[in-house]
C-alpha cells in the first residue's frame, strides 16, 4: 500500500509539473504574439515619419483628420525652420526640400509643394507652402512665410488658406502704408466642375490678414496680371437650367484692380461660354 501511494504521489506531482509547464509555455507564446502584434512606431527619418502619419489619414474625412494633419504640419514647419535658418534659398530649392520631406508618401496620399519670394523693405520674404491630399476631395493647405535678412531666415507668419483646394500664389503691389500683399488662389475638385477660391492677404511685418476673399466660384478661372485680377465663372443654377434646355449659359466676368488702398471692382459683364 505504501508503495502504491508513493507511486500515485509521484504521478500527481508529474502531472502538476507538466500542467505548470504547459501554462508557462502558453503564457510565453501569448506574450511573444502580443509583442509581434504591437504596431511599430514611426520610422526615425522625417520622410518616413510623415508617411507613417499620412497612412492614418486613409478613409478619414477632413474634420476627423485634423489631429493627424496638425501633427504633420508641426513636423514640417519645425524642419523647415531649421533648414531655412542659416540660408537664403531660392524658390526652387524650397520646393525641392518640401518634396524631399514628403518623398515617402504612398498613394492615395500626395503632397504638392509651392513657393514664392519677393523683396520687401530691407528683407526678402519667402513663402513655403504645400497641399496635402489623401483623396480627390480631402486636401489641406499650409503656407509659412519667412523673412530673410543677412543670410538668415525666420518664420514670421503661418496660414492654412482654405481646405479642400490646392494653392497658387501671385505677389501684388504693396499697400499705401507699404504692407506686403499677395494673392492665394486654388481649385476645389471632386464635383462636376472645379470651384475657385481666392484670398488677398496683407502682411505688415507682424501679422497676416485677409483683405478680400471670393469663394466657391463654379467652374471658376482666374488671370493675374500686375495689379489686375480677372475672374470668370458660371452660375451653377443657370448652368443646370441651360444644359437641361440644350444650350450653354454665358460666363460671368469680373475685373478687379488692386490699389494702394485695397481692391476695387473695375468692370463686370457677361461673356460667351468658353
pLDDT, tens only, 208-218? 999 999 999 99
Average pLDDT for the chain: 90
Look at the alpha carbons of 13, 19, 25, 28 in this order and tell me if their dihedral is positive or negative.
Answer: negative
Question: What pTM value is reported for the model?
Answer: 0.83
Dig out the grid coordinates for 195 from the structure: 470651384
- Find the mean pLDDT for residues 145-151: 97
Res 31 pLDDT > 90: no
Radius of gyration of the chain (CA): 30
Instruction: Give the strand pairing for 139-149 and 262-271.
Output: unpaired
Mean of the pLDDT values across residues 138-161? 97
Cβ(95)–Cβ(113) under 8 Å?
A: yes
Beta strand pairing call for 228-234 and 251-259: antiparallel
- 62-102 pLDDT tens trace: 999 999 999 999 999 999 999 999 999 999 999 999 999 99
Amino acid at each position: 500500500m505504501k508503495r502504491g501511494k508513493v507511486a500515485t504521489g509521484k504521478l500527481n506531482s508529474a502531472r502538476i509539473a507538466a500542467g505548470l509547464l504547459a501554462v508557462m509555455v502558453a503564457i510565453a507564446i501569448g506574450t511573444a504574439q502580443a509583442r509581434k502584434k504591437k504596431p511599430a512606431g514611426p520610422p526615425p527619418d522625417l520622410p518616413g515619419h510623415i508617411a507613417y502619419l499620412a497612412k492614418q489619414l486613409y478613409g478619414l474625412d477632413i474634420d476627423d483628420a485634423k489631429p493627424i494633419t496638425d501633427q504633420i504640419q508641426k513636423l514640417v514647419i519645425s524642419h523647415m525652420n531649421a533648414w531655412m535658418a542659416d540660408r537664403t534659398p531660392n524658390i526652387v530649392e524650397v520646393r525641392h526640400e518640401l518634396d524631399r520631406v514628403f518623398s515617402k508618401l504612398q498613394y492615395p496620399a500626395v503632397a504638392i509643394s509651392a513657393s514664392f519670394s519677393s523683396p520687401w523693405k530691407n528683407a526678402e520674404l519667402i513663402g513655403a507652402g504645400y497641399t496635402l491630399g489623401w483623396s480627390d476631395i480631402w486636401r489641406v493647405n499650409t503656407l509659412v512665410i519667412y523673412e530673410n535678412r543677412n543670410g538668415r531666415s525666420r518664420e514670421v507668419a503661418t496660414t492654412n488658406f482654405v481646405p479642400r483646394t490646392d494653392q497658387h500664389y501671385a505677389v501684388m503691389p504693396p499697400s499705401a502704408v507699404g504692407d506686403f500683399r499677395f494673392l492665394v488662389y486654388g481649385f476645389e475638385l471632386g464635383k462636376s466642375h472645379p470651384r475657385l477660391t481666392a484670398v488677398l492677404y496683407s502682411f505688415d511685418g507682424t501679422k497676416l490678414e485677409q483683405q478680400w476673399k471670393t469663394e466657391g466660384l463654379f467652374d471658376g478661372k482666374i488671370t493675374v496680371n500686375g495689379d489686375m485680377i480677372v475672374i470668370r465663372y458660371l452660375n451653377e443654377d443657370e448652368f443646370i437650367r441651360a444644359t437641361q434646355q440644350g444650350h450653354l449659359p454665358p460666363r460671368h466676368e469680373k475685373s478687379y484692380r488692386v490699389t494702394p488702398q485695397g481692391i476695387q471692382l473695375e468692370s463686370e459683364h457677361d461673356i460667351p461660354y468658353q
